[in-house]
A and B are shown apart, each in its own frame.
Chain A
């Protein structure tokens, strides 16, 4: 009887150590995350010129926004707005998906702010990013 209790304890310790490992890592390799990533990857080719022109910039909440409508020809403005809306939808879904994939939906806000910092940090020079409430060029 005592032996089975000991093995039970051993099992719990093992589970606990596995949990520590799980907490130190973040699962991002799920079909949901990968699908959003692929969609964003494809859209980036269309968005990249607008980052460069300054029409679109990166915001502090991990999203993108129309910064200067004037640098987009009138005919293309609707397309750009649609691109921004679709991108933001994907980004929001991405943050939620990562949080859910790790069984912590409440982590979404922290994931979003982590991404927000990293998007801005990794933005190419010349792109516009929001910092302290105003647009600055990297």
Chain B
């Protein structure tokens, strides 16, 4: 029974290591967009010219 308490935390620990190996592609895209916007000084959305 005691072994379970040693094995379980190790399992959980190995699980989070596994999760972290994957490259967060969606987050990277969002981060890239944010940086590009700032570097190129673009607005969040394309500027729509108002016809008045």
Contacts and interface: CB of A to CB of B under 8 A. Distances in A.
Contact of A110 (B20, B23, B38, B41): B23
B32 A118 contact: yes
Given A20-B16, A44-B40, A98 B23 contact: no
A20 B19 contact: yes
A114 B13 contact: no
Contacts of B8: 9, 12
Given A23-B24, A118-B32, A44 B39 contact: yes
Contact of B31 (A23, A26, A40, A117): A26
B19 A111 contact: no
Nearest to A8: B9
Contacts of A25: 24, 27
Contacts of A20: 16, 19
* Chain A binding surface SS class: helix
A33 to B, nearest CB: 8
Contacts of B16: 15-16, 19-20
Interface of B: 5, 8-9, 12-13, 15-16, 19-20, 22-25, 27-42
27 contacts: A5-B5, A8-B5, A9-B9, A12-B8, A12-B9, A15-B16, A16-B15, A19-B20, A20-B16, A22-B20, A24-B27, A26-B27, A37-B35, A37-B38, A41-B38, A41-B39, A41-B41, A44-B41, A94-B35, A104-B23, A110-B23, A114-B25, A114-B29, A115-B32, A118-B29, A118-B32, A122-B36
